[in-house]
Structure 1
Amino acid sequence: ELVSLKFEKRQAAALAEYLERVLNELPDAEEADPPDDLDMREPVVEAWTIGALGIAYDQEEGLVILVAEELVEDPDDTGASARFTLTRPQVRALVTRARAVVAAGRPPCPFCLRPLEPSNRDWCPCHN
């Protein structure tokens, strides 16, 4: 099933960094080439926003398991969750894509970490 979920640039950067460390710590294994087609597919409109991410490794199958939980306003609401099983090549492709998307974005304000607006000469309202 195809689903689009939204998460923040900082989450994408942290996920890529962590997944790369996980891959580097795993024992060597024969791997296929990573997928070439990393373009987004419809639906591009997100079903929900990710609040928390969990990662596990299934040693028996050699798969990385990524669990995303919905960001909810009400702490009593459990929200939605999604579970993805990824091969090592898929994880490498995810790391590559996440880093490219993060690098293409606006730089963060060094004080509040919100994206800086180039039209404002990288000035942030938190400087007031």
Structure 2
Amino acid sequence: MPTRVHEFAWPDRVVVGTLGIPGARTFYLQVRAGKQIVSIALEKQQSAVLADKIDEILDQLITVDGNPFSVPTGTPLELVDNDPLEAVHEQFRTGAMSLGWDPTTAQVVIEAYPITDDDADADAEDDESFDDDEPNVPEMLLVRMPVGTARAFAKRTREVVGAGRPTCPLCGYPMDAEGHTCTVPEV
């Protein structure tokens, strides 16, 4: 069975955002081109690693001798996007991801695949967002974004990840609004 690919070659918008309160947030990678919007759920850690790796790729490109690409060292002001997520309809929950560089188009490439374990598949069948027209069709998200957009994406993602619960200065664990039982290791 062919894979349904949600492909965005030059998206109008690509961001990570959240729904929910700190401590109970769901992270989404949302991409829009025209009227087509795809939102996939991510783990907080996946979001953080994605931002770090994008910056790492861009920083490496800057250091390449004879680099023909104009890679910004910071986020271009005109590409800053602090708007909330648009209407979220979760396409799938992300399992594996890959990140790359396409020198032919000078774009960072993100590929995201759904969780494939049997329990997640059973849950997806019960999910209201599941597409009954084409059951069990494997799918993936393919996003290509130019270097400026990639730099802005990484910056916003780090800010979204960092906007969660504050960290306890003693034990390093997140503190809840209702209180915190510190688990400082005894010396």
TM-score, normalising length: structure 2 = 0.54
Shift of 1:3: 0.7
Q: Which runs of 5+ in 1 are unaligned?
A: none
Q: What SS does the corresponding residue of 1:121 show, helix, strand or coil?
A: coil
The percent of aligned pairs where both chains have the same amino acid is 29
In structure 2, the residue matched to 1:120 is 179
Residue 88 (structure 2) aligned to one of 36, 44, 54: 44
Question: Does the alignment pair 1:30 with 2:48?
Answer: no
Q: Which runs of 5+ in 2 are unaligned?
A: 1-35, 122-136
Shift of 1:73: 2.8
Q: Report which of the two has the higher share of helix.
A: 1
> After TM superposition, which residue ranges in structure 1, 4 or more long, deviate above 6 angstroms?
none
What letter matches 1:54 in structure 2? S
- Alpha-carbon distance in 2 for matches of 1:48, 1:108: 30
Question: Does the alignment pair 1:71 with 2:130?
Answer: no
- Choose 98-107 or 42-51, whichever is displaced more: 42-51
CA RMSD of aligned residues (A): 2.9
What letter matches 2:81 in structure 1? D
What letter matches 2:49 in structure 1? A
Q: Report which of the two has the higher share of strand.
A: 2
Alignment deviations for residues 77-111 of structure 1 (CA, whole Å, 9 cap, x no partner): 784211000100111011111100111012579xx
Q: Is the 8 A contact 1:72 1:79 kept in 2?
A: no
Question: Does the alignment pair 1:89 with 2:124?
Answer: no
- Alpha-carbon distance in 2 for matches of 1:52, 1:15: 12
- Count of aligned pairs between the two proteins: 120
Q: What SS does the corresponding residue of 1:119 show, helix, strand or coil?
A: coil
Report 1 or 2 for greater relative contact order, CA contacts < 8 Å, sequence distance ≥ 6. Answer: 2
- Alpha-carbon distance in 2 for matches of 1:122, 1:107: 14
